[in-house]
């Protein structure tokens, strides 16, 4: 019998049970005894039966799938978020489909539209920009939505975020306390809200200290390649123009920057101290172990997933916000 032609009635005959029992096996397995579940499972495996997902969704009013839209799944920060969301979802019997927006609002919208059309049970979103109204409208239409690494100023969406302004402050305070006076903020595109908040916190500290200056240099992206390019640019500056400390928008950018500085003969941290942001796993293993502002990546992902599960089980509940504090992790790049 070809797998594609196997029906629920074929499984029932093979197992010697009713079609309703096979349906319960897929949709409400707790209704069956362990012996009966094993019996049906054996027939399903031997016949190669694949259940009809749309039909199951109609019966259960749930798809058993949640969506996750992140800025870039290859970035270790978002990869860590995705892993944590998947762990919590799996424990709840749900599967996760992940999409990367690559900071494109249009690409994010395509993913979210697809998730909604497929009747996913809910979505966790790391927004590509600050335009949240399409997400609010989806929640109003009945799709649970939770933000991660972002907050909703209108308070209409549940969210999990970090106090990024405070993160910028503690990074700058560490550098100026160590005697650094020429700071450079190495950031990415101006539209990234979280990075803008880090810069705001850094500016607050530097503006209050006489004899200390802060300059800003931007790259197209906050990845290793652009970090290396930034490092080569810094190394090429005259000694009196070169910053003595760099606060990078994230760890990937900082690691690329450090690699380029060292390759160009600039001593890190003696000549230029470098602080990153995120505390990704590579930060502690870099050629010069990276001082960084830690985001509790796994905790943030788990918190977002739990908020989503709450919204799925209790539609229309009041949105909630979870805000984690940043933590400075001091290593060799900026002792």
What pLDDT, on a 0 to 100 scale, did the predictor assign at position 55? 52
What pLDDT, on a 0 to 100 scale, did the predictor assign at position 52? 62
pTM above 0.85, yes or no: no
**Residue pLDDT, tens place only, 189-210:** 777 788 999 999 999 999 989 9
What pLDDT, on a 0 to 100 scale, did the predictor assign at position 276? 98
Domain boundaries in the chain? Answer: 2-51, 61-162+297-324, 164-296
CA distance 280 to 110: 29
Question: Is it the case that residue 74 has pLDDT exceeding 70?
Answer: yes
Structure token pair of residue 311: 């919204």
Give first-to-last CA distance, the chain, whole Å: 68
The pLDDT confidence band at residue 3, using thresholds 50, 70 and 90, is very low
Higher pLDDT, 85 or 40: 85
**Residue pLDDT, tens place only, 219-273:** 988 899 999 999 999 999 998 899 999 999 999 999 999 999 999 999 999 999 9
The pLDDT confidence band at residue 296, using thresholds 50, 70 and 90, is very high
Residue with tokens 């009945």: 142
Sheet containing 327-329: which strands, arranged edge to edge?
Answer: 213-218, 182-187, 245-248, 273-278, 291-294, 327-329
Query: Which of 50-59, 93-102, 142-151, 303-312 comes out lowest in average pLDDT?
Result: 50-59
What pLDDT, on a 0 to 100 scale, did the predictor assign at position 44? 87
**Residue pLDDT, tens place only, 83-131:** 999 999 999 989 999 989 887 889 988 988 888 888 899 999 999 888 8
What pLDDT, on a 0 to 100 scale, did the predictor assign at position 1? 42
DSSP character string of 14-34: HHTS-HHHHHHHHH-GGGS-H
Q: Classify domain 164-296 by CATH architecture.
A: 3-Layer(aba) Sandwich (3.40)
What pLDDT, on a 0 to 100 scale, did the predictor assign at position 62? 64
For residues 293-322, give the mean pLDDT.
94
Query: Which of 26-40, 248-262, 307-321 comes out lowest in average pLDDT?
Result: 26-40
61-162+297-324 and 164-296 share one CATH topology? Answer: yes
Alpha helix (H) ranges present in the chain? Answer: 8-15, 19-27, 34-47, 53-60, 76-91, 105-117, 133-140, 164-177, 193-207, 224-235, 251-263, 297-313
Question: Is it the case that residue 53 has pLDDT exceeding 60?
Answer: no
Tell the CATH topology of 2-51: 434 Repressor (Amino-terminal Domain) (1.10.260)
What pLDDT, on a 0 to 100 scale, did the predictor assign at position 58? 45
Dmax over CA atoms of the chain, in Å, equals 85
Number of C-beta neighbours around residue 19 at 10 A: 14
Peptide bond into 261 cis (omega under 30): no
* CATH class name, domain 61-162+297-324: alpha beta
């Amino acid at each position: 019998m070809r797998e594609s032609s196997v029906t629920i009635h074929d499984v029932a005959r093979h197992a010697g049970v009713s079609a309703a029992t096979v349906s319960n096996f897929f949709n409400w397995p707790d209704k069956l005894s362990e012996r009966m579940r094993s019996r049906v499972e054996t027939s399903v495996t031997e016949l190669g039966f694949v259940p009809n997902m749309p039909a199951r969704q109609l019966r259960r009013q749930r798809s058993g799938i949640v969506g996750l839209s992140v800025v870039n799944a290859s970035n270790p920060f978002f990869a860590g978020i995705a892993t944590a969301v998947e762990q919590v979802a799996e424990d709840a019997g749900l599967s996760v489909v992940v999409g990367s927006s690559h900071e494109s609002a249009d690409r994010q919208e395509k993913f979210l539209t697809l998730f909604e059309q497929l009747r996913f049970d809910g979505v966790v979103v790391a927004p590509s920009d600050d335009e949240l109204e399409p997400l609010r409208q989806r929640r109003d239409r009945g799709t649970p939505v939770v933000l991660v690494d972002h907050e909703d100023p209108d308070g209409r969406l549940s969210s999990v975020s970090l106090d990024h302004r405070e993160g910028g402050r503690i990074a700058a305070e560490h550098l100026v306390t160590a005697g650094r006076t020429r700071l450079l903020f190495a950031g990415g595109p101006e539209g990234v809200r979280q990075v803008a908040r880090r810069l705001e916190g850094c500016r607050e500290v530097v503006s209050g200290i006489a004899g200390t200056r802060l300059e800003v240099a931007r790259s197209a992206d906050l990845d290793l390649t652009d970090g290396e390019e930034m490092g080569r640019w810094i190394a090429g500056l005259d000694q009196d123009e070169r910053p003595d400390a760099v606060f990078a928008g994230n760890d990937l950018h900082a690691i690329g920057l450090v690699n380029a500085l060292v390759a160009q003969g600039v001593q890190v941290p003696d000549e230029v101290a470098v602080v990153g942001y995120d505390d990704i796993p590579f930060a502690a293993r870099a050629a010069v172990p990276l001082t960084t502002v830690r985001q509790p990546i796994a905790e943030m992902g788990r918190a977002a997933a739990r908020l989503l599960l709450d919204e799925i089980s209790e539609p229309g509940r009041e949105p909630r916000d979870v805000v984690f504090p940043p933590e400075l992790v001091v290593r060799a790049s900026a002792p």
